[in-house]
């Protein structure tokens, strides 16, 4: 399962949906809470990620941090926890509902002494110049039509010699079902067409990862560095609990239904035919339901989905 995994089923009508974007759908509190819970459980099988984030972002106690486009605050809380106390983290998001959920979840996790939230725009961050030691974002720039403008704002609110960082999805991804090569090819086509369609219709790069060093350089940052977080999603993986796999599949199925109309317009713009989209929807639905109906088949399914997150940072030297 991927945060940006392509999902479609048969569309009933097209007109009304032209205004709904995949981005807007992904900003909903219900979507964010559920997808981040699944991601968090998956990440628990990868304890080395804590070390990657801590060393790459230079996390330490006493830091001032800003998480731009924080959504429901999942990454904001991780930053606070990894900096090991007495740090100050501010989450910023333009969606007031997301901020309200972030505040509630942060209180629930007893982290509100370290974390506060503000409603605000990534293009006009409501903070003074040189406010933070580290300004970062996760899965924000993929949704923006002008990511450079947002990164320049992140640079503005960062202290001299401080860091700006982004964790965003990249082009390295693959799906392969050894028992169904033609479905594997179709899956790849759907992914490519979805992201191509979004770029054509909305000017956003959902696989922005490889562009980040160039954007950071254009924003005036120096000492730019990059790591790639590669994730392999596999049902046979004994590190993953059966309950988590089933939760992921149920979520995928609900996404198939909920995003069908939205995804179809991108897929058509990305060059797919209705017939191919219908074939993909049918096969995905059938496979997901089959896996959900039989735990033994689920645990023995060797389909591999792999995806990448690009972690890029740069230093501000005024
Ligand atoms: C895909 S979510 C990521 C949330 C969070 N960073 C995470 O990784 O869980 C993208 C978030 O960016 C926010 N966002 C989109 N455009 C924004 C803007 N111009 N200014 C501030 N926030 C924005 C959305 O409201 C949404 O909460």
Q: What is the CATH number for 101?
A: 3.40.50.150
Q: At residue 9, does pLDDT exceed 70? A: no
> Are 145 and 182 in contact, with CB atoms under 8 Å apart?
no
> Are 139 and 309 in contact, with CB atoms under 8 Å apart?
no
Ligand 1 centroid – CA 185 distance (Å): 31
Nearest to 230 by CA among 176, 141, 306: 306
Domains: count for the chain? 1
Substitution candidate for ligand 1 out of 3, 21, 24, 27 with most atoms within 8 A of CB: 27
Predicted pLDDT of residue 18: 53
Residue nearest to atom 8 of ligand 1 (CA): 138
> Are 72 and 97 in contact, with CB atoms under 8 Å apart?
no
Predicted pLDDT of residue 84: 86
Q: How much is the average pLDDT of 81-88?
A: 90
Q: At residue 14, does pLDDT exceed 60? A: no
66: β partners = 90, 135
Q: What is the pLDDT of residues 121-164, one digit of tens each?
A: 999 999 999 999 999 999 999 999 999 999 999 999 999 999 99
Predicted pLDDT of residue 4: 36
Query: Can you spell out the DSSP letters for 68-95?
Result: ET-TTSHHHHHHHHHTTSS-EEEEEES-
- Confirm whether 5 is domain-assigned: no
Q: What does the mean pLDDT of the chain come to?
A: 92
- Confirm whether 4 is domain-assigned: no
- Confirm whether 8 is domain-assigned: no
How crowded is residue 173: how many other Cβ atoms within 10 Å of its Cβ?
A: 20
Sorted by sequence, the CB contacts under 8 Å of residue 30 that are 6+ apart come out as: none
Q: At residue 5, does pLDDT exceed 50? A: no
> Are 156 and 148 in contact, with CB atoms under 8 Å apart?
no
Backbone angles phi, psi at 169, to 5 degrees: -75, 155
Query: Can you spell out the DSSP letters for 250-261?
Result: HHHHHHHHHTHH
Substitution candidate for ligand 1 out of 102, 140, 255 with most atoms within 8 A of CB: 140
- Confirm whether 237 is domain-assigned: yes
Q: What is the pLDDT of residues 68-77, one digit of tens each?
A: 999 999 999 9
- Confirm whether 10 is domain-assigned: no
Ligand 1 centroid – CA 273 distance (Å): 31
Q: At residue 8, does pLDDT exceed 80? A: no
DSSP-H helix ranges across 83-211: 96-108, 147-156, 181-202
- Confirm whether 34 is domain-assigned: yes
- Confirm whether 2 is domain-assigned: no
Confidence of residue 24 (pLDDT cuts 50, 70, 90): confident
Task: Report the distance separating Cα 300 and Cα 313, nearest Å.
Answer: 39
Task: Report the distance separating Cα 195 and Cα 6, nearest Å.
Answer: 9
**Hey, which of 13-22, 82-91, 146-155 has the most confident mean pLDDT?**
146-155
Confidence of residue 187 (pLDDT cuts 50, 70, 90): very high
Domain region containing 68: 15-315
Q: At residue 58, does pLDDT exceed 50? A: yes
- Confirm whether 290 is domain-assigned: yes
Task: Please identify, by atom number, the ligand 1 atom nearest to the C-alpha of residue 144.
Answer: 16
Q: What is the pLDDT of residues 255-294, one digit of tens each?
A: 988 888 899 999 999 999 999 999 999 999 999 999 999 9
Q: Which residues line ligand 1 (CB under 6 A)?
A: 26-27, 32, 36, 69-71, 74-75, 93-95, 98, 121-123, 138-140, 143
Strands (DSSP E) found in 156-293: 158-169, 174-176, 222-234
Report residue 56 as tokens: 């790459």
Percent of the chain with pLDDT over 90: 88
3-state secondary structure of 133: strand
């Amino acid at each position: 399962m991927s945060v940006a995994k392509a999902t479609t089923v048969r569309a009933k009508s097209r007109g009304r949906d032209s205004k709904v974007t995949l981005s807007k759908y992904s900003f909903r509190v219900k979507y964010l809470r559920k997808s981040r819970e699944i991601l968090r459980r998956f990440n628990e099988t990868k304890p080395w990620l804590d070390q990657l984030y801590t060393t790459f972002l230079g996390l330490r106690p006493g830091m001032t941090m800003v998480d731009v486009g924080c959504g429901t605050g999942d990454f904001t809380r991780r930053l606070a926890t990894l900096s090991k106390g007495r740090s100050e983290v501010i989450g910023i998001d333009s969606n007031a509902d997301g901020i309200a959920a972030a505040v509630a979840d942060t209180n629930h996790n007893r982290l509100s002494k370290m974390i506060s939230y503000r409603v605000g725009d990534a293009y006009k961050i409501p903070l003074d110049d040189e406010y933070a030691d580290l300004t970062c974002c996760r899965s924000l720039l993929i949704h923006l039509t002008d990511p450079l403008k947002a990164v320049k704002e992140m640079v503005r609110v960062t202290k001299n010699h401080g860091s700006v960082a982004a964790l965003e999805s990249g082009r390295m991804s693959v799906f392969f079902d050894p028992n169904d090569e033609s479905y594997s090819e179709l899956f790849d086509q759907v992914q490519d067409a979805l992201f191509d369609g979004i770029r054509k219709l909305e000017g956003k790069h959902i696989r922005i990862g490889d562009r980040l060093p160039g954007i950071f350089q254009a924003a005036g940052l120096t000492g730019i560095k990059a790591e790639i977080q590669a994730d392999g999603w596999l049902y046979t993986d004994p590190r993953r609990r059966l309950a988590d796999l089933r939760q992921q599949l149920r979520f995928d199925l609900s996404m198939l239904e909920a995003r069908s109309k939205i995804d179809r317009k991108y897929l058509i713009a990305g060059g797919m035919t209705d017939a191919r989209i219908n074939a993909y929807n049918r096969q995905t639905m059938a496979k997901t339901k089959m896996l959900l109906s039989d735990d033994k088949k689920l645990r023995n399914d060797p389909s591999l989905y792999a995806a990448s997150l690009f972690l890029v940072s740069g230093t501000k030297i005024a």
